């Protein structure tokens, strides 16, 4: 059964996955290429900053990857109002577990592409001894970010349109009210500003906004 579900989900996801893998390989290579062009007149610190800045593209790509793989796996059921899925002789929990597990497995491919792209990018250029490469680290961060995006989309797909609106409103309310409440009770979880608590560790969102440095000191 898992084999058949995998084959079907692979068919639905393979086209977007192929595009995402190409993009995943291109971003690190592009970052290095553009960075090296500037390297002639820049310091190693400038180079690392530049590649890290372009790494933001990977964070965005991770969000798209999670959403695309999730949508590819769930759209046919959403479109059919789950009638087919519910008519199959499998417990609903088990069905969702399989679909999620397959989605997570497929997310490995773009992460692998990012690793390969990063590895090729740094392997083909001479770097100063003071700089080190982190292709594996960037790929792992990409995987975590795409898994987080996948999880958020999975949760949203399970909700009705009305509930999605409700969750969005509650999130907005929480964003507006929480800093005020924290400030009122004298707690300041942030060191650099009232919103940093949202994006600093241990917040899961930190995986998107932290430094995506392919090369560093």
Partner 1 sequence: MSDAITLRNLHWRAGKEFAIRDLSMTVPTGAVYGFLGPNGSGKTTTIRLMLGMLPALDGQITVLGHVVPDGVHTALARIGYVPERLHLYPGLTVEEAIRYHGGFYASWDAKEAERLRRHFTLRAETLVGRLSKGEAGKLMMLLALAARPELLVLDEPTDGLDPVVRRDVLAALVEFVEKAGSTVFISSHLVHEQERICDWVGVMDGGRLVAEMPMQAFRAGIKRLRVMGKVALLDGAPFAVLARDQVGVREEHWVVRGWQPEMAAWVTQAGGELRDVMDLDLEESFVELLRTARTGEEG
Cβ atoms of 179 and 195 within 8 Å: the answer is yes
The region of 34-42, 88-96, 131-139, 152-160 touching partner 1 under the rule CB under 8 A is: 88-96
Query: Nearest distance from residue 157's CB to partner 1, in Å?
Result: 16
Distances (CA, A) of 25 to 57, 96, 106, 134: 12, 30, 16, 15
Distance between CA atoms of residues 217 and 3, nearest Å: 45
Distance between CA atoms of residues 144 and 88, nearest Å: 32
Taking CB under 8 A as the rule, does residue 168 contact partner 1? no
C-alpha dihedral sign at 169, 171, 173, 176: negative
Taking CB under 8 A as the rule, does residue 83 contact partner 1? yes
* Helix boundaries (H) for 42-91: 44-54, 56-79, 83-87
Taking CB under 8 A as the rule, does residue 15 contact partner 1? no
Taking CB under 8 A as the rule, does residue 1 contact partner 1? yes
Query: Nearest distance from residue 100's CB to partner 1, in Å?
Result: 18
Size of the site for partner 1 (CB under 8 A): 21
Taking CB under 8 A as the rule, does residue 8 contact partner 1? yes
Exposure string for 129-142, b = 16+ CB within 10 A, e = fewer: eebebbbebbbebb
Taking CB under 8 A as the rule, does residue 176 contact partner 1? no
Query: Of 91 and 176, which has the nearer Cβ to partner 1?
Result: 91
Which residues contact residue 144 at a Cβ distance below 8 angstroms, ignoring those fewer than 6 apart?
A: 207
Taking CB under 8 A as the rule, does residue 160 contact partner 1? no
Query: Nearest distance from residue 54's CB to partner 1, in Å?
Result: 35
The site for partner 1 (CB under 8 A) is made up of 1, 3-5, 7-8, 11-12, 76, 79-80, 82-84, 86-92
């Amino acid at each position: 059964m898992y084999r058949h579900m995998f084959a079907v989900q692979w068919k639905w996801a393979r086209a977007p996955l192929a595009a995402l893998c190409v993009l995943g390989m291109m971003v690190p290579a592009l970052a290095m290429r553009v960075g090296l062009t500037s390297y002639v007149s820049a310091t190693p610190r400038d180079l690392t900053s530049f590649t890290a800045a372009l790494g933001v593209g990977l964070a965005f790509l991770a969000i798209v990857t999670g959403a695309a793989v999730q949508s590819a796996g769930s759209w046919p059921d959403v479109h059919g109002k789950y009638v087919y899925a519910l008519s199959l002789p499998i417990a609903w929990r088990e069905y969702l577990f399989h679909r999620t597990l397959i989605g997570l497995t497929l997310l490995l491919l773009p992460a692998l592409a990012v690793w390969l792209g990063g590895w090729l990018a740094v392997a083909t250029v001479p770097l100063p001894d003071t700089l080190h490469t982190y292709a594996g680290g960037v790929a792992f961060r990409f995987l975590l970010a795409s898994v987080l995006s996948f999880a958020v989309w999975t949760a949203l797909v399970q909700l009705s349109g009305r509930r999605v609106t409700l969750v969005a409103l509650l999130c907005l309310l929480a964003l507006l009210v929480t800093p005020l409440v924290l400030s009122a009770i004298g707690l300041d979880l942030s060191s650099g500003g009232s919103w940093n608590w949202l994006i600093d560790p241990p917040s899961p969102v930190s995986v998107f906004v932290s430094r995506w440095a392919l090369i560093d000191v």
